Amino acid sequence: MDILKKLFEQHFHAPVEQVQPLQGQLGGSGRNIIRLAGQKISAIGILYGVREENVAFLEFSKHFRRHGLPVPEIYAEDLSRGAYLEEDLGDTTLFEFLSKNRSGENIAPKVIETYRKVVAVLPRFQVEAGRDLNYKVCYPRASFDRQSIAWDLNYFKYYFLRLAGIPFNEQALEKDFSRLTKFLLSAGHEYFLYRDFQSRNIMLRDGRPFFVDYQGGRKGALQYDIASLLYDAKADLPPELRQQLLDHYLDNLAGFISLERQEFMQYYYAYVYVRIMQAMGAYGFRGFYERKAHFLQSVPYALRNLRWLLHNVELPIAVPTLMDAFKSMVGSEKLRSLASESENLVVRISSFSFHQGMPKDETGHGGGFVFDCRGLPNPGREERFKALTGKDAPVIDYLLQQDGVHQFFASVMSLVDASVSAYQRRGFKNLMVSFGCTGGQHRSVYLAEQLAKRLSGRSGVEVVVRHLGLENLGK
C-alpha cells in the first residue's frame, strides 16, 4: 500500500487523503485493486506479484493509447514491487449498466446502443492496433496456439466435467479435442486476441466505453473475442440481439480487412464453444474446487447458451463425444439444481472487528451495508461476558435489556428489508450486510444472528452467515 501512495504523491504532487479497496471488482483475479484519492483527483492502484502479466498490461496500455483507443492512462509504475497506478474510470461496468436497465429479455435501447459502440471498437484492437503490437511481451503465450487451446480444453475437462460428475470416455473426448483444435487453428489467427472481452471488463464513463483487463491478450483469431462478449454467460443476451450485434461487428470489421462473411461464420460457432468451455472451466475451478459458490451462479446461464447452440447450430466437424458431454450437462440434475439456486437472492451476513478490517466482497457485486455497532453498550467491558460471544444466552439477555439495541436493530431491519425487496424485484443475486464492533465478538455477532433469523425462511432468499472476528479468535 505504501508504494501506491508514494507513486500517487510523486505523480500528482499531492497527498493521498482516502484509500478504498475495490476487491469486489476482482472476479477470479489475484490482483489487489485500490482507489487512491487526493483532494482533486483519484487513481486506481494495482498490486500484483506476477511481473510478466504486469509488463503485458502496461505495454499493451501504452500501445493502445498511441492508437487512440479508450484504455486507462498509466500514471506511474514500480515493477520491482509489483505496483502501478492507472486512470480511474469510475465504478460502472457494462454488466452493471445492462443489469440495471433490463427486464428479462427486454433491454433498454441505451444499453443496446452502448453494446453497438463496444463491438464497433473491437476491430480497432484486433486489426489496427494488432498490426504493430509487440507480441513478445504476451503472457503466458504469444498466441492462441495449440498449447493455449489444450490448456482451456483440459481446464474444462478436469475442473468442470469431472467435478460436476458428467460422464465421458476420455480417449474419445481427447480425439474430439484434437479434431476441434486442428479446425480452430485453420482459421486466420494473425490478429490481436483480447482474451477476456466481456461485460465486466468494459467500464462506462459519461456514456463512453473504456476497456480494461487485456493483459492476457495474444495473437489469435477474430472470432474469439466477439464470441466472448456475445456469449458472456451472466449477461444473458437474447439470441436476436446477439445476431444484431454480430452483424454490426462484421459491418465494422469489413472497414479494416477484406472480409468473407461465410468464411468467418464457418469458424465462429467453434470459437463460441471453446470460449464457453474456457468459462465453464473457470466456474468449476472457482466454484467446485475452491468452493466459492457464487462462481457457480453463472453456470445456468452458460447451460442456456449451450442448449441454444445444440438446437440451432451444427459444426462443420464431427465431435460426437464432446456433444454428448454438452447434452449430459444440459440434462444434469446436479447442474439444474444450480439453476434453481441461482434464482435466489443470497444475503451474506458478516460480523467483524474494526481492528481487523472490513469484510471483502467476493461476489463481484460491490457490497451492501456496513453497520457500526460501537455506539451500543459493550458487553465486552464486563468481566462476566469476556469469554462469551453474541451467540451465548447471557450476552443475548444483556443486549435485549438495552433500548438502544432495539432501536438500532429496528433501523437496520427497515433498511435491509427494503433493499431485499428491491433486489429481488430487479433480479439482483447478492446483498452483503456487515456488522462491526470493537472486538467482533459480542454486539456484531448478536445483530448478525438476529438479522439472519429474520431473513431465514423468506421466499427466494438464501442466508449465509460468517463471524469473522470469532473465526480469528478460533471460536
In order of their start, the domains of the chain are 2-87 (3.30.200.20), 94-341 (3.90.1200.10), 344-473 (no CATH)
Tens of pLDDT, residues 216-235: 999 999 999 999 999 999 89
- Residue 27 pLDDT class (50, 70, 90 cuts): very low
Phi-psi bin for 353: left (phi > 0), alpha (psi -120 to 50), beta? beta
**CA–CA dist 463, 345 (Å, integer):** 8
Biggest CA–CA distance in the chain, Å, is 80
Q: Is 60 exceeded by the pLDDT of residue 25?
A: no
Average pLDDT on 294-319 reads 93
Contact, 120 vs 249, CB < 8 A? Answer: yes
- Residue 138 pLDDT class (50, 70, 90 cuts): very high
Average pLDDT on 275-296 reads 90
Which has the minimum average pLDDT: 26-40, 135-149, 443-457? 26-40
Residues of the chain with pLDDT > 70: what percent?
96
Instruction: Pull the grid cell for residue 133.
Output: 503490437
Q: Is 41 exposed, middle or buried (0-12, 13-18, 19+ CB in 10 A)?
A: middle
- Residue 425 pLDDT class (50, 70, 90 cuts): confident
In this prediction, residue 26 carries a pLDDT of: 39
| Neighbouring-strand partners of residue 43 | 36, 87
Place of cell 483519484: 42
**CA–CA dist 189, 183 (Å, integer):** 12
Closest among 407, 411, 383, 385 to 396, alpha carbons compared: 385
Q: Is 70 exceeded by the pLDDT of residue 421?
A: yes
pTM for this structure? 0.73
- Residue 29 pLDDT class (50, 70, 90 cuts): low
- Residue 71 pLDDT class (50, 70, 90 cuts): very high
**CA–CA dist 142, 144 (Å, integer):** 7
Closest among 290, 307, 286 to 298, alpha carbons compared: 286
Strand extents, DSSP E, 252-384: 345-353, 368-372
Rg, the chain, Cα only: 25
**CA–CA dist 182, 7 (Å, integer):** 47
Which has the minimum average pLDDT: 143-147, 231-235, 351-355, 456-460? 456-460
Q: Is 90 exceeded by the pLDDT of residue 109?
A: yes
**CA–CA dist 442, 426 (Å, integer):** 34
**CA–CA dist 231, 175 (Å, integer):** 26
Which has the minimum average pLDDT: 155-164, 364-373, 438-447? 364-373
Instruction: Pull the grid cell for residue 35.
Output: 482507489
Q: List Cα–Cα distances, 135 to 141, 193, 216, 218, 432, in angstroms.
A: 9, 11, 11, 7, 41
Contact, 209 vs 124, CB < 8 A? Answer: no
**CA–CA dist 429, 425 (Å, integer):** 11
Handedness of CA 309, 312, 314, 320 (dihedral sign): positive
Q: What is the mean pLDDT of the chain?
A: 92
Tens of pLDDT, residues 311-363: 999 999 999 999 999 999 999 888 877 755 556 788 999 999 999 888 887 66
Helices (H), 23-169: 51-66, 94-100, 109-123, 146-156, 162-164
CB count in 10 Å sphere of residue 335: 20
